[in-house]
Amino acid sequence: MASPNLPNSSQPSGSAFKQQKLPAWQPILTAGTVLPTFLLIGITFIPIGIGLLLSSNEVKETTIDYTFCVNDANETCASKISESNANNPCKCILDFELQSSYARDVFIYYGLTNFYQNHRRYVKSRDDKQLLGIKDALSSDCEPFKEFNGKPIAPCGAIANSLFNDTFAMLYFETSTGRYRGMNLIETGIAWATDKNIKFRNPSGGLNDSDAFKGYTHPPNWQKNVWELDSENADNNGYLNEHLIVWMRTAALPTFRKIWGRVNHTIEPFHDGLPKGKYQIEINYHYPVTSFKGTKRVIISNTSWLGGKNPFLGIAYIVVGCICLALSAFFFFIHRKYGRSVNDIINVTQRTPYLNS
């Protein structure tokens, strides 16, 4: 055996660090020591939860289900587009009234139910390189929406093929004129900046069939090519179309909403939001949902500093706070009836006699 005094000895030195004898502190968890923690969490979480809930309740929201809306001929649009294979759009007009004014900023959302965008195969069915404008062989993940009529699809995949394509127009009833007037909804500025500026790019060469997208065709369920989505605005056309970008960010649950547009607050009388009164919403009904027992709705909502209306976070804070207060009361009872001091617990040895109280 090598001597501990020799330089090549494998024996560790006798320092407190190497011998693991450094002083340490370990909390003694008793009813009396954990009680303040639960009490602090309780009295902190409940006011925060009340504040979050009040903030969520300040958000005003109007939801209109239009799954079975009817056109001028008193036909349900759901049945009409199923008969015509969705090639002939159906228009329906719905009246609604705001009982109170909505503070700016006001957004228009569409909502779907029973639509599983979180399905694994569906989520993978896209080609991110293609959406970055890279002209390369399409990913096999796009199957069976990789080719259509012998041409590669742009954009390929099941997500893009199922793009939501209903359109909305809102009208406001002016009491001074006794007529409805359009509201000029804005359909840009609705996508995440990281998506718009980083994840999506049009191919170099220009947005027309003879250049960037030569040889490509639209997905089977589309009536337009990708370079025709917004031909009047090049910054919102092709892969940069914000309706496409919003749709490509898949939802986590089968019941979801996605932003469609926003109210133009630069014109009267919408500078401060939406005034109370009568409104109409014109819907160009293209998107079929009855085949998978889904529903469609349009949501008109403003926001708070927390975003849209969502009471879950406030309720969760209040529930956790109440549970912690109840636990603190329970531990206080345990401590008063059965508790010992920390010094007594520390000084317990094998020879300490057992005490029932």
Domain boundaries, the chain: 63-313
Could you tell me how many residues make up the chain? 357
Place of tokens 């969520």: 56
Confidence of residue 151 (pLDDT cuts 50, 70, 90): very high
pLDDT category at 3 given cuts 50, 70, 90 is low
Tell me what percent of the residues of the chain surpass a pLDDT of 90: 62
Cα angle for residues 46, 52, 53 (degrees, 5° grid): 90
Q: What is the C-alpha separation between 201 and 297, in angstroms, rounded?
A: 31
* Position 59 pLDDT exceeds 50: yes
Q: Which of 331, 336, 328, 330 is nearest to 357 (CA)?
A: 336
Q: How far apart are CA 45 and CA 52, in angstroms?
A: 10
What is the predicted pLDDT for the residue at 357? 45
Residues 227-232, mean pLDDT to the nearest whole number = 88
CA atoms within 13 A on the CB side of 173: 12
Stretch 156-183: mean pLDDT: 94
- The pLDDT mean for the chain works out to 88
Q: What is the pLDDT of residues 202-224, one digit of tens each?
A: 988 666 655 778 889 999 999 88
pLDDT in tens, 321-338: 999 999 999 988 888 887
SS3 106: strand
What confidence tens digit (pLDDT) does each residue in 66-77 have? 999 999 989 999
DSSP one-letter string for 48-90: HHHHHHHHHHT--EEEEE-TT-B-TTS-BHHHHHHHTTTSS-E
Q: What percent of the chain has pLDDT over 70?
A: 89
Which pLDDT score is estimated for 135? 85
- pLDDT of 51 over the 90 cut: yes
What would the mean pLDDT of 315-320 be, rounded to a whole number?
Answer: 96
What's residue 342's pLDDT?
A: 57
Whether the CB-CB separation of 295 and 280 falls below 8 Å is answered with: no
Q: What is the pLDDT of residue 306?
A: 83
Task: Give the mean model confidence (pLDDT) for residues 284-310.
Answer: 91
Mean pLDDT, residues 84-106 = 84
Read off the pLDDT of each residue in 75-100 and give the average, rounded to a whole number. Answer: 83
